Amino acid sequence: MLMDIFQLVEENSSKENKASSPIKASVRSDDENESILILCGSKNSDKSTLVSKFLEREEQQYQICAMEYTFARWNAGNVRAVLCEEKKIGHIYQIEDGLDFINLFKSIRLDNMMNNAAVIVMVNLAEPSEIWTTLEQFLSMTRDYLLKLLMKQNDNVQEMLIRKAAKPYESHPDKRIVKPYPIPLCIIGGNYSDFQNIEPEKKKIICRSLRLIAHLNGATLQFLSFKMDSLIVRGRAVFSHFLFKTSLSKSISTDFNKPVYVNPGADSISIIDSNIVRSESTTYETVMKTYGAEFMSIFNKKENTNKIDEQLFAANEQFKEEAIDSLKFERDQELERYVKRLEKSKL
Protein backbone atom coordinates (compact mmCIF):
# COMPACT_ATOMS: atom_id res chain seq x y z
CA MET A 1 0.00 0.00 0.00
CA LEU A 2 1.27 3.47 -0.86
CA MET A 3 1.95 5.99 1.87
CA ASP A 4 -0.68 8.60 2.61
CA ILE A 5 -0.10 12.36 2.70
CA PHE A 6 0.80 12.53 6.40
CA GLN A 7 3.37 9.76 6.09
CA LEU A 8 4.94 11.71 3.25
CA VAL A 9 4.97 14.86 5.39
CA GLU A 10 6.80 13.04 8.18
CA GLU A 11 9.28 11.51 5.75
CA ASN A 12 10.07 14.86 4.16
CA SER A 13 10.32 16.61 7.52
CA SER A 14 12.95 14.11 8.65
CA LYS A 15 15.29 15.17 5.88
CA GLU A 16 17.73 17.72 7.27
CA ASN A 17 18.21 19.50 4.00
CA LYS A 18 14.52 20.43 3.96
CA ALA A 19 14.04 21.16 7.62
CA SER A 20 14.88 24.84 7.40
CA SER A 21 14.70 25.64 3.70
CA PRO A 22 11.73 27.53 2.24
CA ILE A 23 9.62 25.83 -0.38
CA LYS A 24 10.40 27.10 -3.84
CA ALA A 25 8.76 25.06 -6.54
CA SER A 26 10.96 24.51 -9.54
CA VAL A 27 8.55 24.08 -12.40
CA ARG A 28 8.33 25.19 -15.99
CA SER A 29 7.32 28.83 -16.31
CA ASP A 30 4.48 27.80 -18.64
CA ASP A 31 2.91 25.77 -15.84
CA GLU A 32 2.20 28.89 -13.79
CA ASN A 33 -0.05 30.13 -16.58
CA GLU A 34 -1.87 26.86 -17.17
CA SER A 35 -4.06 24.66 -15.03
CA ILE A 36 -6.02 21.44 -15.38
CA LEU A 37 -9.45 20.63 -13.99
CA ILE A 38 -10.78 17.10 -14.34
CA LEU A 39 -14.55 16.81 -14.03
CA CYS A 40 -15.95 13.32 -13.53
CA GLY A 41 -18.61 11.40 -11.65
CA SER A 42 -21.94 9.70 -12.17
CA LYS A 43 -24.15 10.12 -15.21
CA ASN A 44 -26.99 12.64 -15.12
CA SER A 45 -25.23 14.72 -12.48
CA ASP A 46 -25.15 17.88 -14.65
CA LYS A 47 -21.41 17.88 -15.40
CA SER A 48 -21.84 19.40 -18.86
CA THR A 49 -24.26 22.01 -17.51
CA LEU A 50 -21.75 23.09 -14.87
CA VAL A 51 -19.10 23.64 -17.55
CA SER A 52 -21.55 25.57 -19.75
CA LYS A 53 -22.61 27.80 -16.85
CA PHE A 54 -19.01 28.54 -15.96
CA LEU A 55 -18.10 29.38 -19.55
CA GLU A 56 -21.31 31.41 -19.92
CA ARG A 57 -22.45 29.31 -22.83
CA GLU A 58 -26.10 28.84 -23.67
CA GLU A 59 -26.12 25.13 -24.41
CA GLN A 60 -28.70 22.46 -23.82
CA GLN A 61 -27.76 19.78 -21.34
CA TYR A 62 -26.25 16.73 -22.98
CA GLN A 63 -24.52 13.56 -21.90
CA ILE A 64 -20.84 13.47 -22.72
CA CYS A 65 -19.34 10.55 -24.62
CA ALA A 66 -16.32 9.03 -22.86
CA MET A 67 -14.21 12.21 -22.55
CA GLU A 68 -14.52 15.77 -23.78
CA TYR A 69 -12.11 18.69 -23.67
CA THR A 70 -12.58 22.43 -23.61
CA PHE A 71 -10.69 25.35 -22.13
CA ALA A 72 -11.19 28.70 -20.52
CA ARG A 73 -8.97 31.72 -20.08
CA TRP A 74 -8.71 34.13 -17.21
CA ASN A 75 -9.05 37.73 -18.32
CA ALA A 76 -8.96 40.33 -15.55
CA GLY A 77 -11.69 38.63 -13.59
CA ASN A 78 -13.72 37.47 -16.57
CA VAL A 79 -13.82 34.01 -18.06
CA ARG A 80 -14.15 33.47 -21.78
CA ALA A 81 -13.91 30.25 -23.76
CA VAL A 82 -11.99 31.83 -26.63
CA LEU A 83 -8.37 32.18 -27.58
CA CYS A 84 -6.64 35.47 -26.96
CA GLU A 85 -3.29 36.89 -25.97
CA GLU A 86 -3.82 36.03 -22.30
CA LYS A 87 -1.58 33.19 -21.19
CA LYS A 88 -3.61 32.04 -18.19
CA ILE A 89 -5.41 29.04 -19.62
CA GLY A 90 -7.55 26.48 -17.82
CA HIS A 91 -7.83 23.04 -19.45
CA ILE A 92 -11.13 21.32 -18.65
CA TYR A 93 -11.59 17.58 -19.12
CA GLN A 94 -14.96 15.90 -18.64
CA ILE A 95 -14.83 12.14 -18.18
CA GLU A 96 -17.94 9.97 -18.24
CA ASP A 97 -18.31 7.14 -15.76
CA GLY A 98 -17.68 3.77 -17.40
CA LEU A 99 -15.35 0.85 -17.95
CA ASP A 100 -12.62 3.02 -19.50
CA PHE A 101 -12.72 5.72 -16.82
CA ILE A 102 -9.32 5.08 -15.25
CA ASN A 103 -7.58 4.76 -18.63
CA LEU A 104 -9.11 8.05 -19.74
CA PHE A 105 -8.09 9.63 -16.43
CA LYS A 106 -4.51 8.44 -16.90
CA SER A 107 -4.44 9.72 -20.48
CA ILE A 108 -4.51 13.31 -19.18
CA ARG A 109 -0.90 14.49 -18.95
CA LEU A 110 -0.52 15.56 -15.34
CA ASP A 111 3.21 14.88 -15.09
CA ASN A 112 4.34 18.50 -15.41
CA MET A 113 1.06 20.08 -14.31
CA MET A 114 0.32 18.34 -11.04
CA ASN A 115 0.96 21.48 -9.00
CA ASN A 116 -1.84 23.21 -10.94
CA ALA A 117 -4.31 20.32 -11.23
CA ALA A 118 -7.58 19.66 -9.43
CA VAL A 119 -10.53 17.27 -9.62
CA ILE A 120 -14.28 17.76 -9.26
CA VAL A 121 -16.42 14.65 -8.76
CA MET A 122 -20.15 15.07 -9.26
CA VAL A 123 -22.82 12.75 -7.90
CA ASN A 124 -26.56 12.77 -8.50
CA LEU A 125 -28.31 13.51 -5.20
CA ALA A 126 -31.59 12.31 -6.69
CA GLU A 127 -30.07 8.84 -7.25
CA PRO A 128 -28.67 7.96 -3.81
CA SER A 129 -28.07 4.31 -4.72
CA GLU A 130 -25.24 5.46 -7.01
CA ILE A 131 -23.54 7.93 -4.66
CA TRP A 132 -21.33 5.80 -2.43
CA THR A 133 -20.22 3.41 -5.17
CA THR A 134 -19.35 6.29 -7.52
CA LEU A 135 -17.16 8.01 -4.93
CA GLU A 136 -15.60 4.83 -3.55
CA GLN A 137 -14.63 3.57 -7.01
CA PHE A 138 -13.29 6.96 -8.03
CA LEU A 139 -11.09 7.23 -4.92
CA SER A 140 -9.80 3.66 -5.14
CA MET A 141 -8.92 3.99 -8.83
CA THR A 142 -7.25 7.40 -8.78
CA ARG A 143 -5.58 7.92 -5.39
CA ASP A 144 -2.71 5.45 -5.81
CA TYR A 145 -2.13 6.60 -9.38
CA LEU A 146 -1.81 10.23 -8.26
CA LEU A 147 0.43 9.31 -5.33
CA LYS A 148 2.76 7.55 -7.76
CA LEU A 149 2.83 10.66 -9.93
CA LEU A 150 3.46 12.75 -6.84
CA MET A 151 6.53 10.71 -5.94
CA LYS A 152 7.94 11.39 -9.42
CA GLN A 153 7.80 15.18 -8.98
CA ASN A 154 10.95 17.10 -8.12
CA ASP A 155 11.53 17.53 -4.38
CA ASN A 156 10.24 21.10 -4.13
CA VAL A 157 7.02 20.48 -6.04
CA GLN A 158 6.49 17.26 -4.13
CA GLU A 159 6.84 18.96 -0.76
CA MET A 160 4.62 21.87 -1.79
CA LEU A 161 1.79 19.52 -2.83
CA ILE A 162 2.14 17.31 0.24
CA ARG A 163 2.05 20.18 2.71
CA LYS A 164 -0.80 21.89 0.86
CA ALA A 165 -2.95 18.76 1.14
CA ALA A 166 -2.08 18.22 4.81
CA LYS A 167 -2.38 21.86 5.98
CA PRO A 168 -6.14 21.90 6.86
CA TYR A 169 -5.55 18.98 9.23
CA GLU A 170 -2.28 19.96 10.92
CA SER A 171 -3.92 20.39 14.33
CA HIS A 172 -7.19 18.60 13.60
CA PRO A 173 -8.37 15.87 16.03
CA ASP A 174 -9.03 13.57 13.06
CA LYS A 175 -5.54 13.97 11.62
CA ARG A 176 -4.64 10.33 12.25
CA ILE A 177 -7.73 9.06 10.42
CA VAL A 178 -8.13 11.32 7.39
CA LYS A 179 -6.28 10.71 4.12
CA PRO A 180 -6.23 13.93 2.10
CA TYR A 181 -6.42 13.45 -1.65
CA PRO A 182 -3.08 14.19 -3.38
CA ILE A 183 -4.45 17.18 -5.33
CA PRO A 184 -7.34 19.59 -4.59
CA LEU A 185 -10.63 17.70 -4.68
CA CYS A 186 -14.23 18.87 -4.70
CA ILE A 187 -17.32 16.69 -4.37
CA ILE A 188 -20.46 18.26 -5.83
CA GLY A 189 -23.92 16.89 -5.20
CA GLY A 190 -25.96 17.77 -8.27
CA ASN A 191 -29.75 17.91 -8.75
CA TYR A 192 -30.30 19.43 -5.32
CA SER A 193 -33.79 20.60 -6.33
CA ASP A 194 -34.94 16.99 -6.80
CA PHE A 195 -33.07 15.95 -3.67
CA GLN A 196 -35.31 18.23 -1.61
CA ASN A 197 -38.24 15.89 -2.31
CA ILE A 198 -36.56 12.90 -0.64
CA GLU A 199 -37.89 11.97 2.79
CA PRO A 200 -36.12 13.80 5.65
CA GLU A 201 -34.47 10.80 7.31
CA LYS A 202 -32.89 9.66 4.05
CA LYS A 203 -31.77 13.21 3.29
CA LYS A 204 -30.06 13.30 6.66
CA ILE A 205 -28.21 10.03 5.96
CA ILE A 206 -27.09 11.17 2.50
CA CYS A 207 -25.81 14.51 3.81
CA ARG A 208 -24.03 12.87 6.73
CA SER A 209 -22.40 10.28 4.46
CA LEU A 210 -21.22 12.85 1.91
CA ARG A 211 -19.82 15.05 4.66
CA LEU A 212 -17.94 12.07 6.06
CA ILE A 213 -16.43 10.93 2.78
CA ALA A 214 -15.46 14.52 1.90
CA HIS A 215 -13.92 15.07 5.33
CA LEU A 216 -11.94 11.82 5.27
CA ASN A 217 -10.50 12.67 1.86
CA GLY A 218 -9.78 16.36 2.39
CA ALA A 219 -12.37 17.48 -0.13
CA THR A 220 -14.61 20.50 -0.48
CA LEU A 221 -18.29 19.50 -0.47
CA GLN A 222 -21.04 21.48 -2.17
CA PHE A 223 -24.64 20.86 -3.23
CA LEU A 224 -25.72 22.33 -6.55
CA SER A 225 -28.91 23.07 -8.45
CA PHE A 226 -29.24 24.97 -11.70
CA LYS A 227 -32.76 25.97 -10.70
CA MET A 228 -31.47 28.10 -7.82
CA ASP A 229 -29.55 31.27 -8.70
CA SER A 230 -27.64 31.38 -5.42
CA LEU A 231 -26.29 27.86 -5.98
CA ILE A 232 -25.36 28.64 -9.59
CA VAL A 233 -23.27 31.57 -8.35
CA ARG A 234 -21.64 29.37 -5.72
CA GLY A 235 -21.03 26.62 -8.28
CA ARG A 236 -19.28 29.06 -10.61
CA ALA A 237 -17.17 30.33 -7.71
CA VAL A 238 -16.08 26.81 -6.75
CA PHE A 239 -15.31 25.97 -10.38
CA SER A 240 -13.24 29.16 -10.70
CA HIS A 241 -11.36 28.39 -7.49
CA PHE A 242 -10.33 24.91 -8.57
CA LEU A 243 -9.45 26.02 -12.10
CA PHE A 244 -7.87 29.45 -11.52
CA LYS A 245 -7.19 29.46 -7.74
CA THR A 246 -9.56 32.34 -7.04
CA SER A 247 -10.72 32.91 -3.47
CA LEU A 248 -13.27 30.53 -1.97
CA SER A 249 -15.98 31.23 0.58
CA LYS A 250 -15.15 30.06 4.10
CA SER A 251 -18.79 29.86 5.17
CA ILE A 252 -20.14 26.48 6.28
CA SER A 253 -23.59 24.93 5.89
CA THR A 254 -24.24 21.47 7.34
CA ASP A 255 -28.02 21.57 7.86
CA PHE A 256 -29.49 18.70 5.82
CA ASN A 257 -32.52 20.88 5.05
CA LYS A 258 -30.27 23.40 3.29
CA PRO A 259 -27.64 23.16 0.53
CA VAL A 260 -24.54 21.69 2.19
CA TYR A 261 -21.23 23.50 1.82
CA VAL A 262 -18.06 22.52 3.74
CA ASN A 263 -14.38 23.22 3.10
CA PRO A 264 -11.51 20.82 3.96
CA GLY A 265 -10.75 20.67 7.68
CA ALA A 266 -13.93 22.52 8.69
CA ASP A 267 -15.83 19.36 9.65
CA SER A 268 -15.08 16.56 12.10
CA ILE A 269 -16.11 12.96 12.61
CA SER A 270 -17.59 13.63 16.04
CA ILE A 271 -19.82 16.40 14.64
CA ILE A 272 -20.86 14.40 11.58
CA ASP A 273 -21.82 11.33 13.59
CA SER A 274 -21.30 11.05 17.35
CA ASN A 275 -21.80 7.28 17.09
CA ILE A 276 -18.39 6.89 15.44
CA VAL A 277 -15.95 6.26 18.26
CA ARG A 278 -12.37 7.40 17.72
CA SER A 279 -9.94 4.84 19.11
CA GLU A 280 -6.54 3.40 18.28
CA SER A 281 -8.23 0.87 16.00
CA THR A 282 -10.23 3.53 14.13
CA THR A 283 -8.72 4.11 10.70
CA TYR A 284 -9.71 5.63 7.39
CA GLU A 285 -10.37 2.15 6.03
CA THR A 286 -12.55 0.99 8.94
CA VAL A 287 -14.71 4.12 8.89
CA MET A 288 -15.16 4.00 5.12
CA LYS A 289 -16.00 0.29 5.19
CA THR A 290 -18.47 0.54 8.08
CA TYR A 291 -20.21 3.64 6.79
CA GLY A 292 -20.26 2.36 3.23
CA ALA A 293 -21.94 -0.89 4.29
CA GLU A 294 -24.55 1.05 6.25
CA PHE A 295 -25.22 3.41 3.36
CA MET A 296 -25.58 0.60 0.83
CA SER A 297 -27.91 -1.35 3.11
CA ILE A 298 -30.28 1.63 3.13
CA PHE A 299 -29.95 2.59 -0.52
CA ASN A 300 -29.84 -0.67 -2.43
CA LYS A 301 -27.42 -0.44 -5.32
CA LYS A 302 -29.01 -0.86 -8.71
CA GLU A 303 -27.33 -3.29 -11.05
CA ASN A 304 -24.78 -1.29 -12.97
CA THR A 305 -22.94 -2.79 -15.92
CA ASN A 306 -20.82 0.36 -16.09
CA LYS A 307 -20.97 0.35 -19.87
CA ILE A 308 -21.13 3.34 -22.14
CA ASP A 309 -24.40 3.35 -24.05
CA GLU A 310 -23.51 2.56 -27.65
CA GLN A 311 -26.58 4.41 -28.89
CA LEU A 312 -25.26 7.55 -27.23
CA PHE A 313 -22.66 7.99 -29.93
CA ALA A 314 -25.09 7.33 -32.77
CA ALA A 315 -27.65 9.81 -31.44
CA ASN A 316 -25.20 12.58 -30.63
CA GLU A 317 -25.02 15.26 -33.33
CA GLN A 318 -21.32 15.76 -32.57
CA PHE A 319 -20.57 12.35 -34.08
CA LYS A 320 -22.90 12.51 -37.07
CA GLU A 321 -21.29 11.33 -40.33
CA GLU A 322 -23.78 10.79 -43.15
CA ALA A 323 -21.65 8.37 -45.18
CA ILE A 324 -20.72 6.26 -42.17
CA ASP A 325 -24.23 6.39 -40.70
CA SER A 326 -25.73 5.30 -44.03
CA LEU A 327 -23.30 2.41 -44.33
CA LYS A 328 -23.99 1.35 -40.75
CA PHE A 329 -27.73 1.42 -41.44
CA GLU A 330 -27.27 -0.84 -44.47
CA ARG A 331 -25.13 -3.28 -42.48
CA ASP A 332 -27.69 -3.34 -39.67
CA GLN A 333 -30.41 -4.14 -42.19
CA GLU A 334 -28.32 -6.94 -43.70
CA LEU A 335 -27.66 -8.37 -40.26
CA GLU A 336 -31.34 -8.28 -39.42
CA ARG A 337 -32.24 -10.12 -42.65
CA TYR A 338 -29.51 -12.69 -42.02
CA VAL A 339 -30.77 -13.37 -38.49
CA LYS A 340 -34.32 -13.85 -39.80
CA ARG A 341 -33.14 -16.30 -42.49
CA LEU A 342 -31.14 -18.19 -39.89
CA GLU A 343 -34.16 -18.46 -37.62
CA LYS A 344 -36.34 -19.73 -40.48
CA SER A 345 -33.78 -22.39 -41.44
CA LYS A 346 -33.95 -23.79 -37.91
CA LEU A 347 -37.72 -24.29 -38.09
**The model's pTM:** 0.77
Contact by Cβ (8 Å): 183, 105: no
As a whole number of angstroms, the distance between CA 117 and CA 35 comes to 6
Nearest CA-CA partner of 31 in 147, 111, 148: 111
The domain segmentation of the chain, as residue ranges, is 40-300
Contact by Cβ (8 Å): 35, 245: yes
Residue 268 buriedness (CB in 10 A; 0-12 / 13-18 / 19+) = middle
Contact by Cβ (8 Å): 223, 165: no
* 40-300 CATH choice from 3.40.50.300, 3.40.630.30, 3.40.640.10, 3.30.470.10: 3.40.50.300
Put the strands of the sheet holding 261-262 in their side by side order. Answer: 78-80, 67-75, 89-95, 34-41, 117-124, 185-190, 220-223, 261-262
In the three-class reduction of DSSP (H, G, I as helix; E, B as strand; rest coil), residue 122 is classed as: strand
Task: Give the model's pLDDT for residue 27.
Answer: 36
Q: How many CA within 13 A on the CB side of residue 163? A: 15
* pLDDT per residue rounded down to tens, the chain (347 residues): 445 666 665 565 555 444 443 333 333 434 568 899 999 988 777 777 888 888 877 765 556 667 888 888 876 545 544 444 446 889 999 988 766 788 899 999 888 888 899 999 999 999 999 899 999 999 989 998 999 998 888 888 888 888 888 999 999 999 999 999 999 999 999 999 999 999 999 999 999 999 999 999 999 999 999 889 899 898 889 888 988 888 888 889 999 999 999 999 999 999 998 888 777 788 999 999 999 999 999 997 554 444 444 554 555 555 567 777 777 777 778 777 877 777 777 65
Residue 194 buriedness (CB in 10 A; 0-12 / 13-18 / 19+) = middle
Contacts of 189 (CB under 8 A, 6+ apart): 122, 123, 124, 125, 131, 195, 210, 221, 222, 223, 224, 260
As a whole number of angstroms, the distance between CA 159 and CA 332 comes to 57
Q: Could you tell me the end-to-end alpha-carbon distance of the chain, in angstroms, rounded to an integer?
A: 59
